Amino acid sequence: MANEYAPQPLVALTEDEQMFRDNIRQFAEEAVRPRAKEMDEKGMFDHSLIEQFFQLGLMGIEVPEQYGGGGGTFFEAILAVEELSRVDASAGVVVDVQNTLVNNALLRWGTDEQKKKYLPKMATEWVGAYALSEAGSGSDAFALTTRAEDKGDHWLLNGQKLWITNGKEANLFIMIASVDLAAGYKGITAFIVEKDFPGFTVGKKEDKLGIRASSTCELILEDCKVPKENLLGEKGKGYKIAIETLNEGRIGIGAQMLGVAQGAWECAVKYAQERKQFGQPISNFQAIQFQLAQMATEITAVRMMVYNAARMKDAKMNFVKEAAMTKLFASQVAERVASQAVEIYGGYGFTKDYPVEKYFRDSKIGKIYEGTSNMQLATIAKLVIGGK
């Protein structure tokens, strides 16, 4: 698809960032787009694409060069998620979870020994997953019941996790459990769990509405033996890791939804210029022009919010409010734009022969995972007006 429809970002990119973005866009067009429809239909991610992600350095963008990573910025990771999601949201979320959740957690809270052991693998061969959610622990994240018992020379984990992105492909899991359920959030602790640890099993893969190629799986821990040195951060401080990592992840979801909206909009513009009714392209009609203009305006606003939040994170500024606002608004815009794109296509948009129905399905998850829209509103309200 021609790129002339893409609005230029109003948050200035450096020459290196522009080149990085253009390279990711070219890769997405040439390697991801041809596979997107089949992966969606089969509900399975093409493993050869993940291998290419590693070869291109997309799975360790912020990992320092001394560990085999790209030594890049959070902003660059966001650009990668946006450009991949413009073509396929499933591809975007694989890279998103790897960089904004798993690698970030290891970089921020890992010991020197943990970084030396795991970061080179995360940058070159291992996929990561972030395991927080449970059947009774969604928005109320700290109602989790997965237990961790101190057995002296190791930890023993028991419980079940649900809706874990990258679950099928992952080699490493950031696992959130409680060392003392009676202590509430003060018992929550984070662990690094490898796929091959005894007592750890990946359960069923969910059959989803959207981002179907991305694996969302159940995890089962039955006397899972975890080495003592695989505790991440401090005992009883896992709530801090969970909260702060998800704050960063929400900017990543904002970038994913930005890419979805951009991709749907480009399809709508192209179709409107090709589809003729009453003897002329429907893009000549003011009603269609106004719809496309409104969509483009909202996409540009989202892009500015996503880029600004990412810049704030790189500048070590407090970005919690901006991250919540970004995820909230980006998910709203992605759903509106994708829905409008379906309508511009008319009856064709409602069929699987055209790409906009997939963008519409993929957009819905943005309001749900890594904190629902209501949870984002609660965070924003607390930070702008105070109260509980």
Q: Which residues are designated catalytic?
A: 370
Q: Give one DSSP letter per residue of 84-135, joined into a string.
A: HHHH-HHHHHHHHIIIIIIIHHHHHH--HHHHHHHHHHHHHT--EEEE--BT
Report whether 168 contacts 96 (CB < 8 A).
no
Report whether 171 contacts 195 (CB < 8 A).
yes
Beta bridge partners of 134: 137
Measured from the Cβ of residue 38, the count of other Cβ atoms closer than 10 Å reads 11
Phi, psi dihedrals of residue 203, rounded to the nearest 5°: -90, -150
Amino acid at 343: E
Put residue 69 in one of left, alpha, beta given phi > 0 → left and psi -120 to 50 → alpha. beta
Q: Residue 335 corresponds to which tokens in the numbers above?
A: 């759903």
Between CA 215 and CA 144 the distance in angstroms is: 22
For residue 344, give the nearest of 279, 273, 296 by alpha carbon.
Answer: 273
